[in-house]
Every structure is written in C-alpha cells, then in structure tokens.
Amino acid sequence: MREVFLPGSLEELWRCFEERPQAAVYAGGTDLLVGTYNGMLNPETLICLDRIEELKGVGDRGDNVRIGSCTTHTQLLEESLVQNHLPALWRAIAGIGSPLIRNMGTIGGNICTASPAGDTLPPLYTMKAEVELRSKGGARLMPIGDFVTGPRATRLHGEEVLAAVWVKKPVEYNLHHFEKVGLRNALACSVVSMAALLRLAPDGLVEKAALAWGSVGPTIITCREAEEALIGGKLTAASLGEAAAIVRKAVNPISDVRADADYRRTVAGNLLLRLTVAN
Amino acid sequence: MRISFYLNGKKTDVEVPPDRRFVNVLREDLGITGTKDGCGAGECGSCTILVDGHARLSCLMAAVQLQGRQVTTIEGLAADGTLHPVQEAFIEYGAVQCGFCTPGVILAAVHLLNQNPDPTREQIRVGLSGNLCRCSGYVKIVDAVEAAARKIREGKLR
Amino acid sequence: MSIKMLEIGYPTPRFDALAKVTGEEKYAVDHTREDLLWAGTKRAGLAHGIIRGINMSEAWALPGVYAVLTRNDVAGTNRQGIVHKDQPVLAGRKVRHCGDPVALVLAEDRDTLKKALSLIEVDFEPLQGVFDPEEALKPEAPLVHETGNLLKKAVVRVGNAIDAFNECDIVVEDSFEVPGQEHAFIETENGLAWLEPDGGIVMIVSTQAPFRDRFEIAHALGLEVDAIRIIAPYLGGGFGGKDGATVQCLLALAALHAGGRPVKMCWEREESFIAGYKRHPVRMRYRLGSMRDGTLHALQCGLIYDTGAYAHLGVEVMALGMEHAGGPYRIPNTLIEGWCVYTNNPISGAMRGFGVCQVSFGIERMMDLLASKLGMSRLDIRLKNALRRGDRNCAGVTLVHSTGIVPCLETLGRHCLWTESGKWKAAAGPFKRRGVGIAAVSNAMGYGRGLPDSAIAQVELTREGKIRVYGGVADMGQGNASAFIQMAGEILRQDASRMEIVQPDTDLTHPSGSSSAGRTTYTYGNALIQACKELKEKLLHRAALVLMLDETHGLTLLPGTIRHLPSGRDVPLDLLGRTFPETDRIAVNQFVMPVAQDNIDAAREFKIGFPHVFFSYAAHLAYVEVDELTGKIDVKGYFAVTEGGRVINPTGFEQQVHGAVSQGLGYGLMEEVLLEQGRILNPNFTGYIIPTSLDVPEVTSICVETVESTGPFGMKGIGEVGTNAPLPAIAGAVEDAAGCRLRRSPLTAASVLRATGRGCGVDG
C-alpha cells in the first residue's frame, strides 16, 4: 500500500525525509499524481507539501522578490508583486494549463519537474533567478540554470526541498515579453516559448537584452550571441531577423507528437520578430 | 486510513488508503456520483470539485489531502433545495446537452464568479478553459454564466 | 394562473436539464450494485500476430482475482459486428490491431484488476502488419482477414463522366487526406451487468443501440435474444462511438462467469482510445470539370477508406461518403469509386458525419479551386450549382423532399458577416493575416435503403394522470428525449410538469433503431405523433363517457384536465387514470421512414445504407486569422446557416449546430489519431487535443426553415450536417488569408508555415 505523508511544517518534512528518504514529493500533484495514478511511476511513499505554510507566499525583499515554492499559479497571478515587478513571469503563468491546473500547480512544481516546456522557466532564466534549497541541515542558493540539468532532472538532493525562488526585480529592463506557442489556446503544452527582457533607450536602441526559449532543447536555451547581436541596434525586422538566424543555430529541438524539430527551430527564431510590436 | 472532511457541509469520515484518488472516494466509496471521472489526468475537468471554495481536480488529489477540508460537490450546490443561479441559468440558457461535463463546468463557473462577479465573455471562457465539453461548443455555457453573473449582481443590489 | 404549455417552435429548456445540473442524473457509469466485481480486458498491444499461448497463472494466483477468461470460455460464434460479424469477443487465433481483446479478468476491485491484467503475458508470433490502405490493396500485402483486405469496392455513377470531361471548358484535379478522429465523449464506454435468477442477463450500458445490442450479444455468445435486457440511460456523449457493441459482449461474458455477482466494466480514457472506434481516415483523389460559366459538368473521384482491423460500419460509412462525394451540387456526370480496406490500424466505425465529413473537405476545396481558376466568387459558384428540389444528386437520386441548400447560401450571401468581411480582413494587425472561407454541405438522414428505418412509440396516461412516453431511442445529448416531450406535450396540451419519459429499456420500451444517422427525432417523433393522436382521441372519448356527452366536440385537453368548453366542466386526467384500466390508457404506433425510389445501380452493391432521400443542408462561413510568425490558425468568428425543415425547439437546434461546429473545428485544426505501425501515439487527452472554451469562437447560427412534409411537425434531423463544414470552411479561409492551399487535416500551424515558406523574412 502506498503511504502519503502530509507534513504541516518543515520540521515535520525533515522527519518524513528521514523516515522515507526515497519518497516522491509533490505540492499540487498536477504532474506527479498523473504519472502515479496511471502507473508510469510507482513511488512507495508520497509526501504532499500542500500544508506547509512556510513554503507559501510571496515576499518583497527589496531588490528581490522571494516566491515560496508551494505558492500556486493562481495565487501568483493574484499577487501584485508578481504583476508589477515580474510581468514576463506573470504572462507565462497565465498561460499554464487551465484555471484548475493553476489552482493546484505550483511554481516549485513547475521548476522541479524541469520539463523543457515548463512555462515559468524561460522568464526565470532571463531574470537569472535563484532557487533556495532547504534541508534539515540548512539552505543553499543556486542559479536556476545550474539547478536544472536536463529534461526532468535537477540537482535537488534526496532530503532537500525547493523552498523558494529568488528573483531579482528586473528594474534594468523596460520591455518585458513572453510568448507561448501551443496547439490550442488552453491546456496546451508549449511547443515553443520565448521570454525576452530588453532595455530600450529613448531613441529605441537596445542597451540590454536577456532572452530564453522553452521547448527547443533538453533544458531552457539562452543565447548570448543573439542578445549581443541586438544590442546597439534598434528592434527592426532586419536586426531581429539576424538574431533569429543565430538562435536557430543555437536551439536543439526534438520532433515529438506535438511538433517537429524544423517547426520549433523556425518559430524559435520567428518569435523574436514579435518584439517589434511588444509593449 | 481514516480521513475526515466536510462533504457539502456535513462531517464525513471514510476509511480508505491515503493515496486513494479522491474522485474514486466520492464516486465509489461514498456513492456521490455527480462528480465525474473523464480522463484521470486533469485534462478534462469533469472531476472538478470545490475545496474550501476553490475549484480543484479531484482526480489529481490523494484522499489524505482532503483531511479537514470543506468539499463541495455538485450535489451540495443547491442550498436547501434552491438552485444556485448558475444551475438555473444553465437550464434556462440551453447550456446542458449530454450533461456529463455539466457538474464540473458549473463548479468552475461558481468559483469564477466568486472571484470575479462581473466577468466579460472572454474572462468566462478563460475561467472555464479547464473544462472540456464535447457537445456544446461552449457558446451557450458562456451565455448562461454571463446571465447568472448578472442575476447574482442584481440579487446583491436589492 | 397561466401555465406554460409545451409548444412546438418555442425555445424550450431541456426536460432532463434539472437532473443534470444537480448531479442527480445517473449515467450508465454511475450505476452500481452490491457485491460488485470489476471486469477488464487484456489488450493485444501488438498490431498483428498469432496467439501462441496466454500465460495467466500469475493473474489467477493474485488474491482478489475472481476469474480469467479467454476465447475458450466463449460459447457461441465469438463474433460481434453490426453488419459484418468479423470482430472477436476474445481473440482466439490471432490479433489484428493493438486493441484486440485477448483475455478478460474479473476482480474484486479496480486496483487488483489492473495488477492482474499486467500479469497476463501473451506469447505472440508477430506477423507483418499492414498500416496503409493502398499498401493493403497490393497482392503481396499481409492479410488482415482470410477473405482479403478489400472489404468492399464500389462504384457510384451517373451519366458518363469520362466522356463528359472532354466537354468541359476547365478541369481541375487535386488529392486530399484526412486522419482518424476520436469521438472523445467525456463518459467513456462502460456498463454494468448481472444475471437474474432465471438466468437472463440485465445490462445497464452506455449505448446508442440498446435493441440491436441484444442481437450482437446473443449472436456472439450463443444466447437467446429475449434472455438479454438492455437498459440505456442518457449517455455522456456518443457521436457514433457507442453504436455497435463496445463493452457489451465482454460484459455479458463476464456476467455469465461471475457466479451470480454483478459485474461492472469501465474503459479508462487510454483504453477508450486504444479499443474504441474512430472516424475513418480517408485518401481522396478528385477531378472536377465545369463549363466556362461555372456550371459543373463532370466529377470523378477515388476514395480510399481505411476501416482498420474490423468492418464495424465501414462499408456503410464509405457508401454514405460516396453518396455525398459531389457535395450538395448538380453534377450530371459522376464516377465515384470507393475502396473500403482492412488494415492493422485501430477500428474505424461510425462517427457523426459518417463518411461525409471526409469528402466534404474534398469537394469543397475543389469548388474553391474551380472558383479561383474561373475568377468566380466562391459563393456564386456554389449558388450556381446548388441542388434544388426535383434535381438529381450526384448519386442519381431525385430530391423529392425538402432541399434547402439554396436558401442557406442565399442567406449567408446576404448577411453582413459575408458582405462586410472585407473590412474585417483589412483590419488585420501586425504579423496577422485574415481570411474568410465558406462551405456548403449536406448530410443524409436515416438508414437509407436495405433495412427499415423504423421506430415504435408508446405513450400512456398514467394512473396519476401524467403523460408517459416510452422512448425507444437513446438520448446521447442531442436532446431527443426533450423533443419527444415537447411533441407529446404539444399534441396532448400538457406542460412539462405533467410529462414523464422512460429511457430505452428493452423490457419496457419498443425497438426503434439506433440513435444515429440524424434519424431519431424524425422517425420516433413520427411514431410518437401518431401514438399521441390516438391517445388523445381515446382520452377525449373516455372523458365524454365520464361527462355523459353524446359527442367529443367541445372537449379539449388542457394541463391536467380535459375540459368541456361549452359547459366548463373538467375531467381531471388523474380521474381518467384511475377510472380506466392500463391497457385502455396506452397507444402504440410505428413509423417507417420513406426511402428513395430511384433505381440506382450502386444500390445493388451496397446491401444496406444506400441511397438516401432526405438531406439536411448547411452553409458555413469561417473567419480566420493566421499568425505569420507561428503559422497558428485562430478561428475568430463562425457563422452557420442550417436547413432542417421546421424547427421544433430553436434552443435544441442551436445546441446541435454549435456542437457540430465545435467538433468540426477540432477535426479541422487539432485532432488526429497519430499512428505508428498501428500503435496510437496519443491515446490520451494530453496528446489528442479537442477544442477548449478558448478555441471555439462565438458561433452565430441562423436557421432557414423549409417544411419537410413527411417529418414530425415538418422537421428533419440536423445532428450531423454541421460537422462537415468547418474543416473546408477554415481551409478556404486559410487559403484566403495566407495563400496556402492545404490538402491534409488537421490544418496545423506547421503546415501553414511550411506551405507559405515563411522563415521570418530573413533566411531560416
């Protein structure tokens, strides 16, 4: 019989980890429980983080926003800190799954599942977010780009929990953009996605750029070369087209039931052109 | 394991494995069949229930997660025999065809209207985008929710 | 106080809506009984192979397993099927598709059932499979059935198409391909069955054909038909996928081996994909010729229907497709050839739009092609050739009944959504291209020739003075139960609170055919009207008796009563109910749908299901926006004009139109059963996607009313016609928007980008 623990605090969670080091951990269950109930996964023990208040909530930390890992997507959409300071992330979260999925799924789950199509990831990468990993022994911070190592693979240790995501408020940018491409308009797994943070000077010259793509590689793809190609110029079809060509060489998409690699590669570049009309 | 929660306002105890899928607890252990199980993977929304007033997918909840919670199923919506305005509107506006998705859609709509009492049609569509309906094309469902929202607002003004 | 009576033509709420909004409605899947066993099926998992052995010992040994059954436990023919009995209940010698059932397990609970199924090992000798219908037609192809892979080759012809092409001023050619579509009803295939003390089987099942199910079960398992009782509650969707035995034979088999315990079988979503029926994938080659002024003169097409591992209704689907291959147009010379082919793919069967959905794509795209070559408007070329009453259609049938495609097209053409569409298109935003497309479609109603399209209605005055209708046809959401209540209420002058309906139950109601083919409201409705008229006469006479009147003039039915208008005296209906015996309070009547009288050659090739003589019509307009960067197609608006005779319930009519458009939109844009060597790659709602509330736009629905004089209150069934138009209308709109002519569905963003050769303006 499968055990399910429902710890009410981090203290209790450490005890659960001690008793069941092999336990599978979830908050909303919108990924783990699907696999568990359909038999793809067979964890002997489940730990549900839903009752641990310490893992929830969004805090203003001056230069940073600290997002509790077990904050649901719906809660994040209602959070003015996210709406006002992290608009690209907000836009990405608004497109995840459906309202029902968003009511249950959490940002921590989205990160730890580490699907290349995880919609919170591209914006978090552009903002160089850091994950706060906690264990009984303490806490450590890690850049998200180091934390995610491959599709569905992270550096989370056995008795560690992703406690929070720290996002430095991207005040140095004035254009926050996210676009997701799916096969339908809701309940759609991203086929290609792109987050873009730019700083445009009053005359329109690009001074700073942070770009990240989802669903076009084993993990989120960033492309310094494309960013640098944009800096110093204006956002025109020509300059974006050049950057797009660079990006198409940087991405490494696969073909699957949703889309083929060619489409993903082409669109990953095309999405840059949307920046000419982004606000 | 003994799980204790409030089902439509009534304290309810069940003896089930802690990981038992909650939609099965409702449908099979408690015989409450208004909540449906259409896909088992959170993709169709027919298993929608309200947990502490929030719409959730009961096919993706382990029984133990409901410990102590207030669960509302479609059966609990009509307070003392009076239909909820959403239920009435669904009848009046032709939003019910085969009806299998209906309980889930209604609960999602109730949650939506609790959060946003004056939604646009687009916002209604967003709010119901996790509930698949194969019969209706959604238009009359949106009509019904819009009408229910109006009725609720008018009721509050009196 | 005024009582709202039931009236034809009034927007009327569904009679069963209350039970559905409160969760009280019990679908088949909601039924349970004490001491239940769960039954489940071991599926082949291999597309083609010989069964060498089945290792069940571990499954048998698992605590909680009650029985494991194989083909050896099936008495009878072990063959099910609606027309062709070629499908095993449990595979004995070989399996022909991945979903073929090999063993049946009975267990105490679902978890044990799942575990037991996983413990069964089937030893197969794999056979080479054939997954392409054209490959399957080659002489060296592996044989799916001993009788050969060609289930049916047929020809429908009128005039002399080959010669007629020489007379044409312009000839266009093209080919098209459409994949399989899943019904995706939210309530999956399921049922509950038990043995009565006398050995009879009772089954509550989600089915479109309760009366026929008995015959399928009896033939398959060697039982007596009248020892099987089928109860058909409201279905949580059917769309054709529950027409023909799904769980029925397996469940009956389980019930026979359950030691008297009730057995429940419920296909989870994945099993529903793997084992359930699909819309036929079809390949089409079209050649269409016309005169310079757009008058159609010759049509030749070749249609290949992949019917999968078993026939189901494959021949009938192809027959209907061939009958509609020329669209709702006058084409004096046609040569339509069809091949219905077995492969080791999943079973293709009945689905809303039954063969017509596919060819509508073909002919409508050809009409657009012709229009563009001739420099004619897409609307004008359709109007010019649209069938009128009295014309012969492409199958050679004379349209003696209501034929409303012309008013549909005219209505569409006059509507601002068409006339102002240019303005909308011009307002496309950055990176967006806008276009509109139209489609003209029809869909036959009824079974066609070769078998009686019959229904038997019973209506009764209950002891309590209520009117009870004994429904013979299942309601899968189309609302026919409500329509019957409305009709009976109209004739018997009652309001909804005095009406009752019994859903089909082979013990209580009468054989009335399947819930399919757009036929139920028409055929059962006609029988019901006669029965109600009979009952009305009877009740008026009995009331005259009670009131000691020497004639029935002046007597009228009103809610709850019969009133003698001259004297104002009332005879309450419940008084009549208590006064007269049950046998005197019943009226039973049968109706058989008229058939085509033309002598058509092809009708000899198709024993059943061809040709038809009643058609509903529609003209649709799609507003589409294509994104240049992603290729994504968004349907921004949709307009449907439908002709189905008179409208019984405007709300019900609209519901059917909206739903058909939504399914057609899914078919057009996002639905495809993806196959690889016969295996479904997307057997779930994550990989197989249907439209959400954000994918279907506002749909404007207008009805054009004609009178179908043979129909109940002048109506015809419109359940299917709307499904046939969205794919071609959207394809036409995409071509209008982006200049690309897509020939395959679904119309994906990737196919748009490929076709438009769009990188992002710079090399890609």
Going by C-alpha positions, the residue among C282, C490, B93 that lies closest to residue B102 is B93
C 153-192 near B (Cβ less than 8 A): 183-188
Strand order in C94-95's β-sheet?
C94-95, C49-55, C121-126
Contact of C479 with chain B, judged by CB distance below 8 Å, is answered with: yes
Structure tokens given for C394:
């492409």
Contact of B41 with chain C, judged by CB distance below 8 Å, is answered with: yes
Domain count, chain C: 3
User: What does the pLDDT average to over C10-30?
Assistant: 97
Q: The domain containing residue C198 runs over which residues?
A: 31-127+189-266
Here the CATH number for the domain that contains residue C384 is 3.30.365.10
**C463, C534: one domain:** yes
Q: Which residue of A has its CA nearest to C432?
A: A274
User: What does the pLDDT average to over C362-390?
Assistant: 98
Strand extents, DSSP E, C521-580 = 555-558, 561-564, 569-572
Q: How many CB pairs under 8 A join B and C?
A: 165
**A71, A40: one domain:** no
**C579, C458: one domain:** yes
**C586, C602: one domain:** no
Predicted local confidence at residue B158, as pLDDT: 59
What is the pLDDT confidence band of residue B157, given thresholds at 50, 70 and 90?
confident
3-state secondary structure C147-161: CCCEEEEEEEEECCH
**A83, A159: one domain:** yes
Considering A116, A144, A168, which residue would you say is the last residue of a domain? A168
What is the pLDDT confidence band of residue C756, given thresholds at 50, 70 and 90?
confident
**A185, A268: one domain:** yes
Q: Are strands C190-195 and A148-150 parallel, antiparallel or unpaired?
A: unpaired
Contact of C25 with chain B, judged by CB distance below 8 Å, is answered with: yes
Contacts of residue C436, defined as CB under 8 A and 6 or more positions apart, other chains included, come to C418, C421, C424, C425, C621, C622, C623, C624, C732, C733, C736
Whole-number Å distance between alpha carbons of A208 and A199: 5
Asked if C659's CB is within 8 angstroms of B134's CB, the reply is yes
**C442, C465: one domain:** no
Q: Which residues of B touch A74 (CB under 8 A)?
A: 54
Whole-number Å distance between alpha carbons of C75 and C253: 9
Considering A119, A140, A168, which residue would you say is the last residue of a domain? A168
User: What does the pLDDT average to over C227-232?
Assistant: 98
Asked if B131's CB is within 8 angstroms of C655's CB, the reply is no
Whole-number Å distance between alpha carbons of C363 and B61: 49
3-state secondary structure of C208: coil
**C520, C647: one domain:** no
Predicted local confidence at residue C758, as pLDDT: 62
- Asked whether the beta carbons of C181 and C351 are under 8 A apart, the reply is yes
**A179, A242: one domain:** yes
**A124, A82: one domain:** yes
Alpha-carbon torsion angle C337, C343, C349, C354, nearest 10: -30
What is the pLDDT confidence band of residue B122, given thresholds at 50, 70 and 90?
very high
**C441, C464: one domain:** no
- What ipTM did this prediction achieve? 0.98
Asked if A1's CB is within 8 angstroms of B62's CB, the reply is no
Q: Is residue C199 part of a domain?
A: yes
Asked if B98's CB is within 8 angstroms of C235's CB, the reply is yes
Task: Encode burial over C520-559: b for 16+ CB neighbours within 10 A, e otherwise.
Answer: bbbbbbbbbbbbbeebbebbbebbbebbebeebeebebbb
Q: Is residue C151 part of a domain?
A: no
Contact of B38 with chain C, judged by CB distance below 8 Å, is answered with: yes
Partner-chain residue, chosen from B90, B94, B137, that has the shortest CB–CB distance to C651: B94
Asked if A34's CB is within 8 angstroms of B42's CB, the reply is yes
Mean pLDDT, chain C, whole residue set: 97
**C607, C698: one domain:** yes
Q: Is residue C160 part of a domain?
A: no
Asked if B40's CB is within 8 angstroms of C22's CB, the reply is no
Q: Are strands C679-680 and C675-676 parallel, antiparallel or unpaired?
A: antiparallel
Chains that touch A (3 or more CB pairs under 8 A): B, C
Chains that touch B (3 or more CB pairs under 8 A): A, C
Asked if B64's CB is within 8 angstroms of A48's CB, the reply is yes
Alpha-carbon torsion angle C728, C732, C738, C739, nearest 10: 110
**C338, C325: one domain:** yes
Predicted local confidence at residue C762, as pLDDT: 33
Ordered by where they begin, the domains of chain B are 2-76 (3.10.20.30), 79-157 (1.10.150.120)
Name the β-bridge partners of B45: none
Interface probe with B: pick from C658, C693, C696, most Cβ of B within 10 Å: C693
Angle, vertex CA C69, rays to CA C149 and CA A2, nearest 5: 110
Predicted local confidence at residue A215, as pLDDT: 98
Whole-number Å distance between alpha carbons of A136 and A159: 8
Going by C-alpha positions, the residue among C276, C287, C285 that lies closest to residue C310 is C276
**A38, A85: one domain:** no
Handedness of CA C257, C259, C264, C270 (dihedral sign): negative
**C579, C483: one domain:** yes
Q: How many angstroms away from the CA of A167 is the closest CA of chain C?
A: 30
Partner-chain residue, chosen from C430, C750, C762, that has the shortest CB–CB distance to A241: C762
Whole-number Å distance between alpha carbons of C88 and A47: 45
Considering A168, A186, A207, which residue would you say is the last residue of a domain? A168
- Asked whether the beta carbons of C282 and C316 are under 8 A apart, the reply is no
Q: Is residue C55 part of a domain?
A: yes
Whole-number Å distance between alpha carbons of C125 and C54: 12
Considering C592, C617, C647, which residue would you say is the last residue of a domain? C592
Whether residue B82 is predicted with pLDDT greater than 70 in this model: the reply is yes
* pLDDT tens, residue by residue, A189-248: 999 999 999 999 999 999 999 999 999 999 999 999 999 999 999 999 999 999 999 999
- Asked whether the beta carbons of C25 and B90 are under 8 A apart, the reply is no
3-state secondary structure of C446: coil
Q: Which residues of A touch B65 (CB under 8 A)?
A: 4, 6, 29, 48, 50
The DSSP annotation for C376-430 comes to --HHHHHHHHB--TT-B-TTS-B--S---HHHHHHHHHHSHHHHTHHHHHHT--T
User: What does the pLDDT average to over B144-148?
Assistant: 98
* pLDDT tens, residue by residue, C494-553: 999 999 999 999 999 999 999 999 999 999 999 999 999 999 999 999 999 999 999 999
**A77, A11: one domain:** no
Q: The domain containing residue A143 runs over which residues?
A: 53-168
Asked if C32's CB is within 8 angstroms of B28's CB, the reply is yes
**A216, A269: one domain:** yes
Structure tokens given for C215:
């015959």
Q: Which residue of B has its CA nearest to A32?
A: B60
**A43, A57: one domain:** no
Predicted local confidence at residue C551, as pLDDT: 96
What is the pLDDT confidence band of residue C602, given thresholds at 50, 70 and 90?
confident
**A234, A265: one domain:** yes
Asked if A6's CB is within 8 angstroms of B57's CB, the reply is no
Q: Is residue C2 part of a domain?
A: no
What is the pLDDT confidence band of residue C761, given thresholds at 50, 70 and 90?
very low
Going by C-alpha positions, the residue among B28, B65, B37, B69 that lies closest to residue B50 is B69
Q: Is residue C177 part of a domain?
A: no
Domain count, chain A: 3
Chains that touch C (3 or more CB pairs under 8 A): A, B
Whether residue C386 is predicted with pLDDT greater than 70 in this model: the reply is yes
User: What does the pLDDT average to over C366-370?
Assistant: 98
Here the CATH number for the domain that contains residue A256 is 3.30.390.50
Structure tokens given for A180:
């997701």
**A259, A192: one domain:** yes
**C261, C330: one domain:** no
* pLDDT tens, residue by residue, C567-592: 999 999 999 999 999 999 999 999 99
Cα–Cα distances in angstroms (integers) from residue B44 to residues A99, C406, C634, C688, C694, in the given order: 12, 39, 21, 12, 14
A 76-115 near B (Cβ less than 8 A): 97-101, 103-104
Whole-number Å distance between alpha carbons of B117 and B157: 12
What is the pLDDT confidence band of residue C605, given thresholds at 50, 70 and 90?
confident
**C585, C606: one domain:** no
Partner-chain residue, chosen from A188, A266, A276, that has the shortest CB–CB distance to C764: A266
**C488, C423: one domain:** no
The DSSP annotation for A161-225 comes to EEEEEEEE--TT-SEEEEEEE-SSSSS---SEEEEEEEEE-TTSBEEEEEEEEESSSSS-B--HH
Considering C538, C568, C592, which residue would you say is the last residue of a domain? C592
Whether residue C359 is predicted with pLDDT greater than 80 in this model: the reply is yes
* pLDDT tens, residue by residue, C56-115: 999 999 999 999 999 999 999 999 999 999 999 999 999 999 999 999 999 999 999 999
**A74, A30: one domain:** no
